[in-house]
């Protein structure tokens, strides 16, 4: 079964053709990162307009790359929730129109479900049977072993750690398409925290990748960081220390998270380090930091954020000793330090960690396998803030 997956929930316009939920025949992603790097974040109205321009060329290329015409496509899947209202509208209106025009069944998919199902996709777009990235052993305090590495797909029951720009949740999945939220953030999502800390440190948007680079001693060159201050442009080799700044772990009950305190802790530590009062404008702090300090803050923050995520997953494994697999999903799953820390968890290929159409098609395939009916293309709605449990 070949599904065309369409994704436009935030600032990526994406379409992909996937066979039987696992084999990627094409995967086209047009990112608006360059536009929003100028502004330091996504502007919803601009994102919607960019989707409108890119949508049809992206879909045409996805079909072309897959060597398919409309007769080869069995269904269309589209993200209808959650996300930016205008962005979701462009994707769903396009999918609805195409479904009516080409007489294809239409499936509406929740964005977080798609991120989770990126872990079922084969790694190679050429259909090579790659195993998801995992090695070593992740054990809960109760000591249970997780499903061995030779399994191509994750085993149920599983725990999904969803870490994106808008969400931080732990989901319990007894089987396909069954989701129970067992932990969630009380305030900021972890990806949002990476983005906000990057802003404090003067690193470019999106913050996740630039923090990860700075934590390795690499600060974007003036080519990519337009107008970078001279102090960051030197080619001096930096070895960052992740132990230089001690940042607190939030005291949140159970499996829930809180990341706004960590962001504030970085802000206070930077203010203390450069010797200014807390009333000092935060957008000016970056001008007072050296390259070494920026890299040390990035490394210390990244280490703390990863530790917090790992602690909660360990707690969840203790609480759910029957767990067979842990899967990690969402943009932050691209983070190498997190991949290193959760050695036996499943991760999507780094290119599939962020928003893409292949994961939408994969999620729809497993919905169809579970007996889901297609949605009505004349009345499909969008839900910018709906939970995965609804
Ligand atoms: O899943 P995603 O692409 O979009 C949402 O659904 O929100 O996630 C985007 C988030 C951003 O906050 C971005 O900074 C973060 O994922 N991110 C990373 C990395 N790559 C992207 N965070 C940490 N390390 C990375 N390598
Ligand atoms: Zn996403």
Q: What is the 3-state secondary structure (H, E, C) of 1-30?
A: CEEEEEECCCCEEEEEEEECCCEEEEEEEE
**Which atom belonging to ligand 1 lies closest to the Cα atom of 191?**
12
Q: Is the pTM of this model over 0.85?
A: yes
Average pLDDT of the segment spanning 308-329? 98
Q: What is the pLDDT of residues 67-79, one digit of tens each?
A: 999 999 999 999 9
Q: 379: Cβ–Cβ under 8 A, 6 or more apart, which residues?
A: none
Strand, helix or coil at 203?
A: coil
- If phi > 0 it is left, if psi is from -120 to 50 it is alpha, else beta; for residue 200 that is alpha
Which pLDDT does position 390 carry in this prediction?
82
| Distance from residue 110's CA to the centre of ligand 2 (Å) | 10
| Distance from residue 98's CA to the centre of ligand 2 (Å) | 23
| Distance from residue 164's CA to the centre of ligand 2 (Å) | 6
**Which atom belonging to ligand 1 lies closest to the Cα atom of 12?**
3
Give the binding-site residues of ligand 1, using a 6 Å CB cut-off.
Answer: 10, 164-166, 191-192, 194-195, 206-209, 212, 330-332, 334-335, 354-355
Q: 348: Cβ–Cβ under 8 A, 6 or more apart, which residues?
A: 118, 119, 121, 132, 329, 333, 359
| Distance from residue 331's CA to the centre of ligand 2 (Å) | 6
pLDDT score of 216 more than 50: yes
| Distance from residue 279's CA to the centre of ligand 1 (Å) | 30
**Which atom belonging to ligand 1 lies closest to the Cα atom of 198?**
14
Sign of dihedral through CA atoms 242, 247, 253, 256?
Answer: negative
Which pLDDT does position 185 carry in this prediction?
98
Q: What is the pLDDT of residues 164-185, one digit of tens each?
A: 999 999 999 999 999 999 999 9
**Which atom belonging to ligand 1 lies closest to the Cα atom of 336?**
26
- If phi > 0 it is left, if psi is from -120 to 50 it is alpha, else beta; for residue 112 that is alpha
Average pLDDT of the segment spanning 290-300? 98
Whether the CB-CB separation of 335 and 212 falls below 8 Å is answered with: yes
| Distance from residue 319's CA to the centre of ligand 2 (Å) | 27
- Burial profile 286-305: b = 16 or more Cβ within 10 angstroms, e = fewer: bebbebebbbbbbbbbbbbb
Which tokens in the block code for residue 177? 């398409």
How is domain 126-347 classified at the CATH fold level?
Nucleotidyltransferase; domain 5 (3.30.420)
**Within a 10 A sphere around the Cβ of 256, how many other Cβ atoms?**
17
Whether the CB-CB separation of 67 and 74 falls below 8 Å is answered with: no
pLDDT score of 144 more than 70: no
Strand, helix or coil at 155?
A: coil
Could you tell me which of 239, 293, 237 has the C-alpha nearest to residue 266?
A: 293
Which pLDDT does position 226 carry in this prediction?
44
2-119+351-369 and 126-347 share one fold: yes
Boundaries of every domain in the chain? 2-119+351-369, 126-347
Residue of 191, 209, 302, 363 to mutate, ligand 1, most atoms within 8 A of C-beta: 191
271: Cα separation from own chain's centroid: 30
CATH superfamily of 2-119+351-369: ATPase, nucleotide binding domain (3.30.420.40)
Whether the CB-CB separation of 10 and 47 falls below 8 Å is answered with: yes
Q: What is the pLDDT of residues 218-233, one digit of tens each?
A: 997 534 444 455 555 5
Q: Is 61 exposed, middle or buried (0-12, 13-18, 19+ CB in 10 A)?
A: middle
Q: Which residues pair with 75 in a beta bridge?
A: 3
Q: Which residues pair with 288 in a beta bridge?
A: none
Q: Which residues surround ligand 2, an ion (CB under 5 A)?
A: 164, 355
High-pLDDT (> 70) share of the chain, %: 89
**Of 104-113, 220-229, 295-304, where does mean pLDDT reach its minimum?**
220-229
| Ligand approaching nearest to the C-alpha of 163 | 1
């Amino acid at each position: 079964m070949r599904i065309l997956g369409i994704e436009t929930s935030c600032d990526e316009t994406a379409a992909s053709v996937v066979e039987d939920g696992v084999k990627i025949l094409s995967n086209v992603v047009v990112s608006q990162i360059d536009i929003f790097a100028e502004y330091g974040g996504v502007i919803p109205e601009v994102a919607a307009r960019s989707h409108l321009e890119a949508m049809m060329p992206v879909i045409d290329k996805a079909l072309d790359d897959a060597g398919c015409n409309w007769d080869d496509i069995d269904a269309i899947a589209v993200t209808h929730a959650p996300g930016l209202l205008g962005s979701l509208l462009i994707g769903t209106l396009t999918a609805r129109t195409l479904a009516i025009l080409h007489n294809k069944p239409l499936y509406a998919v929740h964005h977080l479900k798609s991120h989770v199902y990126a872990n079922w996709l084969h790694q190679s777009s050429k259909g090579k049977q790659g195993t998801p990235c995992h090695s070593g052993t992740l054990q809960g305090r109760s000591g249970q072993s997780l499903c061995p590495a030779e399994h191509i797909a994750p085993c149920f029951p599983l725990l999904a750690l969803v870490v994106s720009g808008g969400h931080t949740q732990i989901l319990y999945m007894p089987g396909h398409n069954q989701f129970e939220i067992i932990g969630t953030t009380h305030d900021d999502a972890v990806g949002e925290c990476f983005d906000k800390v990057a802003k404090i440190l003067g690193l470019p948007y999106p913050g996740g990748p630039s923090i990860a680079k700075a934590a390795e001693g690499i600060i974007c060159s003036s080519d990519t960081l337009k107008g970078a201050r001279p102090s960051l442009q030197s080619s001096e080799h930096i070895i960052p220390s992740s132990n230089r700044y001690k940042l607190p772990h939030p005291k949140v009950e159970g499996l829930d998270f809180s990341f706004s305190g960590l962001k504030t802790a970085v802000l206070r530590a930077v203010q203390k380090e450069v010797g200014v009062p807390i009333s000092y404008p935060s957008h000016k702090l970056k001008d007072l930091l050296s390259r070494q300090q920026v890299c040390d803050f990035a490394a210390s923050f990244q280490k703390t954020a990863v530790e917090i995520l790992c602690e909660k997953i360990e707690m969840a494994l203790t609480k759910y000793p029957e767990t067979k697999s842990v899967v990690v999903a969402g943009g932050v799953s691209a983070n190498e330090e997190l991949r290193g820390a959760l050695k036996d968890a499943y991760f999507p290929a780094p290119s599939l960690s962020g928003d893409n159409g292949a994961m939408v098609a994969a999620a729809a395939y497993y919905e169809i396998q579970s007996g889901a009916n297609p949605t009505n293309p004349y009345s499909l709605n969008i839900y910018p803030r709906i939970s995965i449990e609804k």
